[in-house]
A and B are shown apart, each in its own frame.
Chain A
Amino acid sequence: MPPRTRTRTRARGLSAFSIVAFIAAVVLLALFPKFVENPYAVHLMVTFFLAVIMGEAWNLIGGYGGQYSVGHAAYFGIGAYTVLVLLQTNGVAPWWGLLPALALALGVAAIVGSITFRLRGPYFVLASIAVAEIFRLVALNWKSATNGAEGILLSGVPPIVIGGTEIVNFSSKVPFYYMGLALAVLTVLVTVWFQGSKLGYYLQAIREDQDAANSLGIPLTFYKNIALMISAFFTAWAGALYGLYVGFIDPQTAVGLDISVQIVLTAIIGGIGTVFGPVVGAAILVALSEALRSNAITDLLVAGGLVSETSSIGIFLKDHLSHAHMLIYGFLVAIVILFMPDGVLGAVNNAARRRRARAAAGGAR
């Protein structure tokens, strides 16, 4: 037997600090609606949870597996449309409608993966965009089911009733808050499991070098498909939740390219291939997007005395900044890619690793 050395690496799971911080954050978030009744704050949090769910889901195949799908809107749309069509047209309760929605997402992911995972790099990206566009066009033109460009307006989400007593009614945002929180926590936990599993190792090997991975006994398409299916499953779930929450979907808001891009940005800005990267990315993007949309940035500049409200610059910003949020996203991505190629969380981790390495080198001398 070779001598056993004790390695200094933490296990590939989370550090004790991360676990404690995560539990504390979840407890605080669970208590949040008890203390904050402002519906706008609750709405922001639901938006944040949705972004976390989708970012974490994409991260499995995109971040760990390196397969940059820019077509996750397809799965989001499948979730949203299946549940809303079944509810609005056929009167199927959403918790039952969710089952065929998720099953459909799994099936579509398996088929799409089997076809597009033969492609590598930019060709795979283009194929993923094309697939999502096909689904958007289906939603737009299959009018008998989807109501085409007019979209589907929910007349209401039926309450959950067990044995004649109403358990949950969806007249407020709070039930959606808890569903979003629960699903966000679930996707984080799935990612923790994934990262330490054979599946996670294999996907990372595929990301780093497909030929090397293949020579080490990894059937590439099979493992990419499994990861894509898990990813599609949670993305569709998020889509269903979004549709029920907003109460209205149309091809653009449920299957549009914007959604695919936002999902990718959430993961890239936060840090791909890390458990909490998409959480950080979601926080940044939701905060930024709301600040732009609500003119909070202009208001802040005015309040800080930097810009006069009545000056031409002030009027220009008030009128136009809120329309420019995609533009500012673009700048943000450019900045992150230039200065933090591993995302915000990646940059923090790298700095910590360098500090540890320096400390270790100093200690050895």
Chain B
Amino acid sequence: MSETDSPILDIQHVSKQFGGLAANSDVSFSMTEGMILGLIGPNGAGKTTLFNCITGYYPPTKGDVIFKGKRLNGMTPDQVCKLGMVRTWQKVRPLAKLSVIDNVVVGALVRTGSVPEAREIAREQLHVVKLAHKADFLAGGLPIGERKKLEVARVLATKPDLLLLDEVMGGLNPAESEDIIQLILEIKQRGLTQMVIEHDMKAIMRISDRIVVLNSGEKLAEGAPLEIVSNPEVVTAYLGEAHT
């Protein structure tokens, strides 16, 4: 097996228990380099919990997360970020009192100690997300569509190998969503691997190479987009028994 064929991310039997509640139980799947994996499931299916387990916000109760051949168990989010995996937040978290470019500079500083160099990286990333014209605005004053783009620019500036995008289209109008879809595809062109949580099924079908469906914390199905839409279990989970 060549280097590129080995999975960049391997999730093995991950379970996360909050007291008596199993937010994730025995979830396993893997990602190869350059792919976009769509992570879908009804509300409360455990998608964001899985993100949190993968990126070090809390350790999985059971199971292993292996990123680029390293076990991440017990690592903190900043260590995971330095290794090259970074996530965005479902509820955007702009550094409100910093300017747009300074938000991105903070991301870039993980790879360099030089602020001027970080500004250079930040400026490039703002061009990628088409936010360069807002560089000097306060991040807290941006409308939601631009905040989502800022989140993406900020994580891109950390020079990741794997991006985890948590509902970057949530709350956006169709035109803004389309912008983000184009952005995700462009990021793919650059060779980055992405895992995307999304509720918009049309969007997820278009961008994903592979889809994992979670339901009640368990992996319900995994496959190519067309397999997933025709999977009766998935249809049941989303639409209820009557539709099968």
Q: CB-defined interface of B64-78 with A at 8 Å, one 1/0 digit per residue? A: 000000000000111
- Decide: A212 near B101, CB < 8 A? Known: A201-B115, A219-B76: no
Residue among A2, A211, A215, A273 with most chain B CB within 10 A: A215
Asked if B98 and A217 sit within 8 Å, CB to CB, the answer is no
User: Does A327 interact with chain B (Cβ within 8 Å)?
Assistant: no
Which residues of A in the span 181-226 have a Cβ within 8 Å of any Cβ on B? Answer: 196-198, 201-202, 204-205, 207-209, 211-220
List of B residues within 8 angstroms of A204 by Cβ: 95, 97-98, 102, 106
Asked if B95 and A208 sit within 8 Å, CB to CB, the answer is yes
Asked if A201 and B102 sit within 8 Å, CB to CB, the answer is yes
Interface stretch, picked from B121-129, B186-194, B205-213, is B121-129
Asked if B89 and A217 sit within 8 Å, CB to CB, the answer is no
User: Does B155 interact with chain A (Cβ within 8 Å)?
Assistant: yes
- Decide: A205 near B136, CB < 8 A? Known: A7-B101, A216-B155, A218-B78: no
Interface stretch, picked from B79-87, B215-223, B224-232, is B79-87
Which residues of B in the span 102-133 have a Cβ within 8 Å of any Cβ on A? Answer: 102, 105-107, 109-110, 113-115, 118, 123-124, 127-128, 132-133
Asked if A216 and B158 sit within 8 Å, CB to CB, the answer is yes
Asked if A9 and B136 sit within 8 Å, CB to CB, the answer is yes
The A interface, classified by DSSP as helix, strand, loop or mixed, is loop
List of B residues within 8 angstroms of A205 by Cβ: 95, 98, 106
Asked if A215 and B81 sit within 8 Å, CB to CB, the answer is yes
Chain B residue with Cβ nearest A273:
B97
User: Does B154 interact with chain A (Cβ within 8 Å)?
Assistant: yes
User: Does A38 interact with chain B (Cβ within 8 Å)?
Assistant: no
- Decide: A209 near B132, CB < 8 A? Known: A215-B87, A216-B107, A217-B81: no
Partner of B109, one of A201, A207, A219: A201
- Decide: A5 near B81, CB < 8 A? Known: A215-B87, A217-B158: no
Asked if A212 and B89 sit within 8 Å, CB to CB, the answer is yes
- CA A218 – CA B108 in complex, angstroms? 11
Chain A residue with Cβ nearest B86:
A215
Which residues of A in the span 1-36 have a Cβ within 8 Å of any Cβ on B? Answer: 2-5, 7-9, 12
Q: Distance (Å) between the CB of A355 and the closest chain B CB?
A: 15
List of A residues within 8 angstroms of B82 by Cβ: 217
Q: Distance (Å) between the CB of A335 and the closest chain B CB?
A: 22
Asked if B95 and A4 sit within 8 Å, CB to CB, the answer is no
Asked if A198 and B109 sit within 8 Å, CB to CB, the answer is yes
Asked if B106 and A201 sit within 8 Å, CB to CB, the answer is yes
Asked if A216 and B135 sit within 8 Å, CB to CB, the answer is no
Chain A residue with Cβ nearest B139:
A208
Chain B residue with Cβ nearest A213:
B106
Partner of B78, one of A7, A208, A209, A217: A217
List of A residues within 8 angstroms of B87 by Cβ: 215
Partner of A5, one of B55, B96, B99, B132: B132
> How many residues from B make CB contacts under 8 Å with A?
40
List of B residues within 8 angstroms of A5 by Cβ: 123, 132-133, 135
Interface residues of A toward B: which range?
Answer: 20 to 34
List of B residues within 8 angstroms of A213 by Cβ: 95, 106
Asked if A198 and B89 sit within 8 Å, CB to CB, the answer is no
List of B residues within 8 angstroms of A209 by Cβ: 93-95
- CA A202 – CA B102 in complex, angstroms? 10
- CA A212 – CA B105 in complex, angstroms? 13
Asked if B99 and A214 sit within 8 Å, CB to CB, the answer is no
- CA A213 – CA B76 in complex, angstroms? 12
Q: Distance (Å) between the CB of B167 and the closest chain A CB?
A: 15
Asked if B95 and A219 sit within 8 Å, CB to CB, the answer is no
- CA A220 – CA B78 in complex, angstroms? 8
Residue among B79, B107, B124 with most chain A CB within 10 A: B107
- CA A215 – CA B78 in complex, angstroms? 6
- CA A3 – CA B124 in complex, angstroms? 9
- Decide: A198 near B78, CB < 8 A? Known: A7-B135, A204-B98: no
- Decide: A202 near B136, CB < 8 A? Known: A209-B95, A211-B93, A215-B87: no
Asked if A197 and B115 sit within 8 Å, CB to CB, the answer is yes
- CA A7 – CA B135 in complex, angstroms? 7
- CA A321 – CA B164 in complex, angstroms? 61
List of B residues within 8 angstroms of A216 by Cβ: 78, 81, 86, 106-107, 110, 154-155, 158
Partner of B115, one of A9, A196, A219, A220: A196
- CA A9 – CA B132 in complex, angstroms? 13
- CA A4 – CA B57 in complex, angstroms? 37
List of A residues within 8 angstroms of B96 by Cβ: 208
Asked if A2 and B124 sit within 8 Å, CB to CB, the answer is yes
Residue among B57, B102, B109 with most chain A CB within 10 A: B109
- CA A7 – CA B78 in complex, angstroms? 30
List of B residues within 8 angstroms of A214 by Cβ: 76-78
List of B residues within 8 angstroms of A9 by Cβ: 99, 101, 135-136
List of A residues within 8 angstroms of B132 by Cβ: 2, 5
Pairs A–B under 8 Å by Cβ, sample size 9:
A2-B124, A2-B127, A198-B115, A201-B118, A204-B97, A213-B106, A215-B81, A217-B81, A219-B79
Known: A2-B127, A217-B86; 12 extra A-B contacts, CB below 8 A, are A3-B127, A7-B123, A7-B136, A201-B102, A201-B115, A202-B106, A211-B77, A213-B95, A215-B77, A217-B81, A217-B107, A217-B110
Q: Which B residues are closer than 8 A to A by beta carbons?
A: 55, 57, 76-79, 81-82, 86-87, 89, 93-99, 101-102, 105-107, 109-110, 113-115, 118, 123-124, 127-128, 132-133, 135-136, 154-155, 158
